[in-house]
């Protein structure tokens, strides 16, 4: 059933706020993917990856290595719990690659350093997008259990 809202003469239609997604699997996937993200981004990412992916040149290999860690960990996690969705690791790899390359491009193009306030904005936006990715993947996985 759809609900309608009239705003300035325009009718907006929204789905009901009730959910067909079980909360337990959703929270479980969100927690698992968040822990995976912390491990991949903060424990397994070394200086070569962190600095290299934001460099003006030679950024591809460090970026690919870093994103491969995310893809492998996501694939392992999903394959252990829901093997038919093993390909979610590839989805995570590609999305992580796009987000980190966009941040790296901005850092390199505009010479943004940790002393520049935009550096921290970029870090925050980068992390927010990664967590939204995890949230989206968690929704998809929980809805398709």
pLDDT digits (tens, 9 = 90+) for 83-131: 999 999 999 999 999 999 999 999 999 999 999 999 999 999 999 999 9
pLDDT digits (tens, 9 = 90+) for 134-143: 999 999 999 9
d(C-alpha 119, C-alpha 130), whole Å: 17
d(C-alpha 70, C-alpha 89), whole Å: 8
d(C-alpha 75, C-alpha 95), whole Å: 14
Work out the pLDDT band at 1, boundaries 50, 70, 90.
Answer: very low
Model pTM score: 0.86
pLDDT digits (tens, 9 = 90+) for 41-94: 999 999 999 999 999 999 999 999 999 999 999 999 999 999 999 999 999 999
d(C-alpha 118, C-alpha 124), whole Å: 10
Q: What is the CA radius of gyration of the chain?
A: 18
Work out the pLDDT band at 20, boundaries 50, 70, 90.
Answer: confident
Position 12 pLDDT exceeds 90: no
Contacts for 40-44 with beta carbons within 8 Å, 24 or more apart? 40/66, 40/69, 40/70, 40/73, 41/70, 41/127, 41/130, 44/69
Say if CB 75 and CB 88 are below 8 A apart. yes
Helix/strand/coil for 50: helix
Position 7 pLDDT exceeds 80: no
Name residues whose C-beta falls within 8 Å of residue 6's C-beta, 6 or more positions apart in sequence.
12
**Average pLDDT value over all residues in the chain:** 91
Kindly tell me the burial class for residue 13, based on how many C-beta atoms sit within 10 Å of its own C-beta (0-12, 13-18, 19 or more): exposed
User: What H or E segment, with its residue span, contains residue 5?
Assistant: strand 2-7
Position 6 pLDDT exceeds 70: no
């Amino acid at each position: 059933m759809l609900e309608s809202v009239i705003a300035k003469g325009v009718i907006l239609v929204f789905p009901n706020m009730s959910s067909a997604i079980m909360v337990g699997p959703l929270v479980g996937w969100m927690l698992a993917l968040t822990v995976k993200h912390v491990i991949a981004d903060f424990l397994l990412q070394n200086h070569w990856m962190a600095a290299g992916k934001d460099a003006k040149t030679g950024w591809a290999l460090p970026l690919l290595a870093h994103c491969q860690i995310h893809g492998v960990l996501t694939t392992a996690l999903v394959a252990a719990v829901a093997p038919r969705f093993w390909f979610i690791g590839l989805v995570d790899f590609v999305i992580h690659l796009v987000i980190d390359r966009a941040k790296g491009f901005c850092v390199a193009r505009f010479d943004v350093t940790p002393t520049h306030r935009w550096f921290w904005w970029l870090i925050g936006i980068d992390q927010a997008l990664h967590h939204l990715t995890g949230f989206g993947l968690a929704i998809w996985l929980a809805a398709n259990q």
